[in-house]
A = this chain, B = another copy of it.
Amino acid sequence: MAPNSSTSLSKTTTAARTRWPSTPPSPPIPASPPTYAASSPVSTVLSFSLPRTAPVFTRTLSSMIFLPVSATPLCHRLKIGARTWFPSVADDYFRKCLDKGRKTTSALLGFCVSGVQIRDDRGILWRPSHGNIHQFTASDVRRTLRRFVSSNPTSDCEPNCAFASAVYSGSEGLLAQLLELKAWFENQTLFHFYSTSVLAAYDNDDCDDGQFQGRPRLRLIDFAHVLDSDGVIDHNFLGGICSLIKFISEIFSERIEEDSNSDSVRELEQDRSSSL
């Protein structure tokens, strides 16, 4: 059953332009009505018009966001928030969301995987079905986040996280973009986002020594259930984002530790061979 009080989005052909404001607005963003724009019912992308004070919602095909990347980028779609229903929701819809939240990892992790498409360098795709994804455990989520940045994603071996540094770290990496999004959510009191997802994507073509030509992209998508916040931050979405950040930072830290151990082993081997 469709919710009865969500914010409606009008349709135009405007494409996504920029992301959320890079710094939390100070003083707070005036609570003026936002501009909505859309081109397709498939998914919705949140962006902001300059001077980055009034948010502009744009609705567009996911692939349109990733024009600079190939036709089959590596995508990871994560529904954020332990609670996917809003306070005034009808009782049957509320129970449906509640059941779903308890079956998926939403309640436990504050987010769940809602779609994934991973391709290895031979072009082999791994795209689990919705039925499969909805049964993901916390361990599956952790492993999928690792596969997303591995050069052996479709293999049965342990994901090697070869691209963790290139995709997750750095000033243009997904972690930095998530932290930027988190900073915005700590301050924005315009909207509450229910059942909204983040879509992370990059292209592993043109990979040169673990670095890519295009930077990884992160976008907010799916705004069917966006409500006015009544001056309160979206603590439900924010909690989920913090949890996702922790998951990703752990993968990145593990990778650094592995690299550091490998370096130490290599140094030991070099010392050993030079002493022989």
Contacts and interface: CB of A to CB of B under 8 A. Distances in A.
Contacts of A109: 232, 235
A242 interface: yes
A98 to B, nearest CB: 8
B240 A235 contact: yes
A153 interface: no
Interface string A241-256: 0110110001001000
Nearest to A186: B242
Contact of A231 (B28, B138, B187): B138
Contacts of A243: 232-233, 235
Given A83-B82, A102-B87, A236 B239 contact: yes
Interface residues of A, number: 29
Given A102-B87, A230-B138, A235 B110 contact: yes
A182 to B, nearest CB: 9
A108 interface: yes
B82 A246 contact: no
The DSSP consensus for interface residues of chain A is helix
B189 A246 contact: yes
Number of copies: 2
Interface string A69-108: 0000000000000110001000000000000001000011
A235 B230 contact: no
Nearest to A229: B108
A240 B83 CA distance: 13
Contacts of A28: 250
Given A87-B108, A186-B246, A235 B82 contact: yes
A38 interface: no
Interface string A24-42: 0001100000000000000
A238 interface: yes
Given A87-B102, A102-B87, A238 B232 contact: no
Contact of A242 (B83, B107, B233): B233
Nearest to A234: B239
A27 B102 CA distance: 31
A109 B238 CA distance: 12
Nearest to A240: B235
Interface of A: 27-28, 82-83, 87, 102, 107-110, 138, 186-187, 189, 230-233, 235-236, 238-240, 242-243, 245-246, 250, 253
- Those 10 A-B pairs whose CB atoms lie nearest each other, nearest first: A239-B239, A235-B239, A110-B235, A235-B243, A233-B246, A238-B239, A233-B243, A238-B242, A109-B232, A87-B107
